[in-house]
Amino acid sequence: MGMQAIIAFLLYAVVNAFTPGPGNILALNTVTNYGWEKGKKLFFGIFAGYYVVQILCAIFVFGLNLLLSPVMSVMKYVGVVYILYLAIHIALSKPLEADNQKSASFLKGFMLQFVNVKIYMFGITALTGYIVPYNSSFAILLFAELVIATIGSIATLTWIFCGSLFQQAYQKYFRVINIFLALILVECAWSMIT
């Protein structure tokens, strides 16, 4: 694998990871509603889910190509429903008072990534487009997916940091911001089925 292919792979991974997707939008919304401390379980769930999904992608590309298409078509619709649920939840949510905030859950963050077809497609496309033409060993596929998950986690941390910066503005304009974020999630869901 030449340097040009590695650079192309990394650029693809960075662009995909930093674009608004369900995990990044949920992280941004959670940090603005709950702050870092109360939202960190959800963030760690997002990170863990990202790694699990990318490991699954490596396994699928390596040996389960016959099962991949049916699994992805089912996951696509499960993902759409879950993302729409999150969009509705975000659109209707209000900032919480400091004394009655609940922590966001690890499971919610993990499940979002588990059904997030965007990151399945991201991982599979990266492997089949940039890695498999040069090397299809499981170790290389797994390493590439772990790189993708790390870049994705860094992107989510960036969205979390941005949410922390805008927390005060969010408290004032929460309705407009939540509707905007919900519409981005609806667009994510729509793009998965079109």
pLDDT, tens digit (0-9, with 9 covering 90-100), for 162-182: 877 776 777 788 888 888 878
* Residues contacting 147, CB < 8 A, separation 6+: 10, 13
Please compute Rg for the chain using Cα positions. 17
Sequence ranges of the domains in the chain = 23-31+38-93+104-193
Q: Of 58-72, 98-112, 173-187, which range is least confident?
A: 58-72
The predicted structure's pLDDT at residue 11: 83
Burial of 59 (0-12, 13-18, 19+ CB in 10 A): middle
Report whether pLDDT(69) > 60: no
What does residue 96 show for φ and ψ, rounded to 5 degrees? -95, 145
* Mean local confidence (pLDDT), 36-49: 91
Average pLDDT over residues 4-28: 82
The pLDDT > 70 percentage for the chain reads 83
Q: State yes or no: pLDDT of 8 exceeds 60.
A: yes
Using alpha carbons, select from 148, 180, 157, 3 the residue that is nearest to residue 61: 148
Mind giving me the DSSP string for 52-90? Answer: HHHHHHHHHHHH-HHHHHHHHHHHHHHHHHHHHHHHHHH
- Supply the pLDDT for residue 95: 64
DSSP one-letter string for 14-44? HHHHHS--HHHHHHHHHHHHHHHHHHHHHHH
pLDDT digits over 109-153, tens only? 898 888 887 888 788 888 887 888 788 889 999 999 999 999 999
Given a cut of 60, whether residue 101 has pLDDT beyond it is: no
